[in-house]
Structure formats: structure tokens, C-alpha cells
Copies of this chain bind each other. A is one copy, B any other.
Amino acid sequence: MNTPADRIELFSYWRSSAAYRVRIGLNLKGLEHQITPVHLVRDGGQQHSEGYAALNPQELVPTLVHGDLVLHQSMAILEYLDEVFPEPPLLPDDAPGRARVRALAQLVACDLHPLNNLRVMQFFSDTWNVPQTEREDWTRHWMQVGFDAMERLLVESVDTGRFCHGDTPTLADCCLVPQLFNARRFNVDLGPYPTLVRIDEACLALPAFDAARPENQVDCAG
């Protein structure tokens, strides 16, 4: 679909849920791309290397390079992809629908995931000496708070379909699926969230989501 001049390179880490979101988006759009792994732990964290920090001063993944353009922030990247490669769309065509999808995506990307990512866990262990069990309690706590709200928002809306919004995947699904991967990793009880689980299952049945799974990445540690 994209031409050689439009070369797309994604700096990714197999287990990063922000990178996972963009992998899903690239696959849904059918865009050929190269994945360059950035190991977030090895070498003191390759995201802190001088070369990568020049590309992304936040020293976080993902970074997407499209031609000469360097893009940061998973949701900004997904919106960009949706504008430049509009088919199939990741956002509905009405303003209220787009607001709903963005709000669901941001529930995960702003209020849930940032509290649980690697650098936060490292702060707790290295600076505050918080024991692992308490760090994991923290992680589960914020996931549950976020999932409680998301389940309710999905159950109570007629706009919820096979996916978070209607019957085609959107930005919200790109955020939900990686977050459920994280939840399973931390043994969050998903019993109270039947709608999240049902949508996750519907997503992962699609090849675009399946190919983006952490366990299907070249840099997966197994």
C-alpha cells in the first residue's frame, strides 16, 4: 500500500502496550513496515541510549518514522495513520462517535497504563524500595479502577457492538487489547469484566490483532 518513499519504521518493544497499540493500527491499515526492537531493560534500557533519545527525547517507545517524519506518542501516531491512510478508518465518521472512541482510548492511555509502566515500577523498586507484592497490588488496583469504569461505559451504551464502538475495530480496541494482555500478566481477575473479555476475544480473532501480539514479535523473550 505504501510506497518505498513512504518507508515506515516502528521502534517497538514486544511487551510495551503503547507499541502494541501502534502495531495493531499498522496491521489494520495493511501498511508494510519494519520493526526495530528497543529493549527496555537490556543495556540499562536501550531507550536511554543517545541515539534513541535523539529520536525520542522522552526515551519511551514507540517512535514511528514515516519517510522523513519522526512521530511520538501512540495515540498521536494512530490518529496520524488514520489521517494519512484513511482506510479502514480507526475512528467513526460522526463527532460524538469520535469523542466516545477517543475517551475510551484515553481512559486506558491516560488514566490506566501510565501508572503501571516500567519506569514507574523502577521508581518504586529503586527509589522507594517497595516490595514486589505491593508493586503488583498497585498495578492491579489501577487496572481494576479503570476496567470498572470501562466495563460500565461499554455495557451502558447502545454504541457498543462486536467491538468497543460498533462492529469494526477502532482506536479504543487498539488500546483495550494491549491492556488486557497486561492484566493477564499481572493476574487481574477478569471475571467482573465480561464485555472487555468478549471484545478482546473478537479483536484477537482478527489477523491484524493476532500478528501484533507480544508473543508474535521478533524480539519476544518467550
* Residue A202 CB within 8 A of the other chain: no
Residues of B within 8 A of A102 (CB): 73, 75-76, 79-80
Q: Is the CB of B57 within 8 A of A71?
A: no
Contact size class for A?
35 or more
The copy count of this chain in the complex is 2
Residues of B within 8 A of A69 (CB): 96, 99
- The dominant DSSP class at the A interface is helix
Q: Is the CB of A106 within 8 A of B141?
A: no
The listed residue (B71, B110, B138, B141) touching A75 by CB distance below 8 A is B110
* Residue A176 CB within 8 A of the other chain: no
A59 CB to nearest B CB, Å: 7
Q: Is the CB of B152 within 8 A of A103?
A: no
Sorted nearest first, the 5 A-B pairs with minimum C-beta distance are A76-B102, A73-B103, A80-B99, A76-B103, A73-B106
Taking A73-B103, A79-B98 as known contacts, 15 extra A-B pairs with beta carbons closer than 8 A to each other, sorted by chain A number, are A71-B99, A71-B103, A72-B103, A72-B107, A76-B99, A77-B103, A80-B96, A80-B102, A83-B95, A84-B95, A109-B110, A110-B113, A110-B114, A115-B120, A123-B141
